[in-house]
Structure 1
Amino acid sequence: MIINSTELQNNFGKYLMLAAQEEIIITRNGTEIAKLTAFKDTPAENPINTVQEKAPEYSYGGKKASYEEFLQIHQETEERMEYIDGEIYWLASPKTAHQIVITELFGFFFNFFQGTKCRPMVAPYDIELRRSPENINIVQPDIMIICDLEEKLNENDYYKGVPSLVVEVLSKGTRRKDMIQKLDLYMSCGVNEYWIVNPDNKELTVYLFEDHEIGNYVTYKNNEAAKSYIFEGLSVEISRIFKI
């Protein structure tokens, strides 16, 4: 979870309890400055308790790459990949639960946006997001709602805008990337709403981004219905999207 320093100061007790369940990154002016995490007892036989995360399998060589290097690799292979903050991530083939969630959600979106200018799209579909003119990122969200498709298509039929709403379905290999790196990327680059779906615990969290910060968020589960902040009337029953 990522929150800004003002939100932490105003609700410290709340986030102190949440830290027992998940790591909380604190930002100031969009920059990560601190981490709030649960304290764990140190084993007697190991007085220095150092936790080192295994290098993710989806990482390209565990090394940074220039945007030009990414483009060359991207053009020479049929493998799906993303490029985030100077690093290439290979995208593994999704599992069944992941695909069922996407199929169900896309059905809801397709019916809701019929007859409007907004279009639901599914991966693989490259989205270019720029933190700055030099910091170019290429991602493939699981689902995205695009409301300016015709206006932002270039001469090569590539979309060059920013989706209004983005959905990512978590998996073991992408959990950290989706919940931290992508959340910050989407928030920083103008996405208005971000849905994170967790098939393991059958929860869906909806984030509202305002002025490049988290304006609000809520987690839905069980027999609840997830509701969009930015699209009035858009509601998805949690029990309908988790079939397994």
Structure 2
Amino acid sequence: MRSPAARADMRLTYDDFVLFPDDGKRHEIIDGEHYVTPAPNVRHQRLVGRLLYEIERYLRANPHAGEVFAAPLDVVLSHFDVVEPDLLFVAGDQTDILTEKNVQGPPALVIEVLSKSTRKRDAQTKRRLFERTGVREYWLVDPELDAVQVFRPTAEGRLARVAELTAEDGGVVTTPLLPGCQIDLRELFRAHI
């Protein structure tokens, strides 16, 4: 068994990350550990596209609110933590975290669309990372259940689930980060155009 100090010396860093191959897969480092995710499926991409469209539409009417970005875009949270969320929103009061190459710090909102290969990592490992680094809101979009879980920080700084909405129940996702933006889950999860 390696000592914690030896383990820390073996953690991957952002310097290692930039050397990963451009192979069509999503590479991430969380606490120095390398994670690889295969390219997403059609339903996943459809959901990301619809969410991007709705948030972008809101931002066109409210241009000072911030900017929304879709993967791939590196989010550097520390030297040992580099992720590529499906979608991220950088609020107008945090534009200083945007660089030409990447995002250097926690976005206001991170959205992940769950898949079989990422479900546990997104729900647990990444949630803890986003909690630790100060993400203001985290959404988990579940295509199996046609549901969205919304997490926001508690007074103690822990990302706690504040809502779980479903298309079946006519759920509408809103956020104080984008006042007036409403995402109808029946429309989000509809089978096709």
TM-score bracket, normalised by the shorter chain, equals: 0.7 to 0.9
TM-score, length of structure 1 as denominator length: 0.66
Determine if contact 1:65/1:88 at 8 Å carries over to the other structure.
no
**How far apart are the structure 1 equivalents of 2:10 and 2:190?**
39
SS of the residue corresponding to residue 51 of structure 2 reads helix
1:88-109 CA-to-partner distances (Å, cap 9, x unmatched) read 0112110111011101100110
Determine if contact 1:146/1:164 at 8 Å carries over to the other structure.
yes
Query: How much has 1:65 moved relative to structure 2?
Result: 5.1
User: Using a 3 Å threshold, how does the CA distance of structure 1 residues 102 and 153 change in structure 2: closer, same or farther?
Assistant: closer
Alignment-derived partner of residue 5 in structure 2 = none
SS of the residue corresponding to residue 196 of structure 1 reads strand
- Superposition RMSD in Å: 2.1
Match for residue 111 of structure 1 among 57, 60, 63:
57
Amino acid at match of 1:175: R
Amino acid at match of 2:41: K
Looking at secondary structure, tell me which structure has more helix per residue: 2
2:150 matches 1:218: no
1:115-169 CA-to-partner distances (Å, cap 9, x unmatched) read 2241010000000113xxxx62000000000125642244x54321320000000
SS of the residue corresponding to residue 179 of structure 1 reads helix
TM-score, length of structure 2 as denominator length: 0.82
Which is further off, 211-220 or 138-147?
A: 211-220
User: Using a 3 Å threshold, how does the CA distance of structure 1 residues 73 and 192 change in structure 2: closer, same or farther?
Assistant: closer
Match for residue 86 of structure 1 among 32, 54, 57:
32
**How far apart are the structure 2 equivalents of 1:118 and 1:229?**
13
User: Using a 3 Å threshold, how does the CA distance of structure 1 residues 206 and 73 change in structure 2: closer, same or farther?
Assistant: closer
Aligned counterparts, 1:1-244, within 5 A: 66-68=11-13, 71-72=15-16, 74-79=18-23, 80-114=26-60, 115-130=63-78, 136-147=80-91, 150-154=95-99, 157-210=101-154, 211-221=156-166, 222=168, 223-244=170-191
Give the total of aligned pairs: 175
SS of the residue corresponding to residue 127 of structure 2 reads helix
Q: Which has the larger radius of gyration?
A: 1
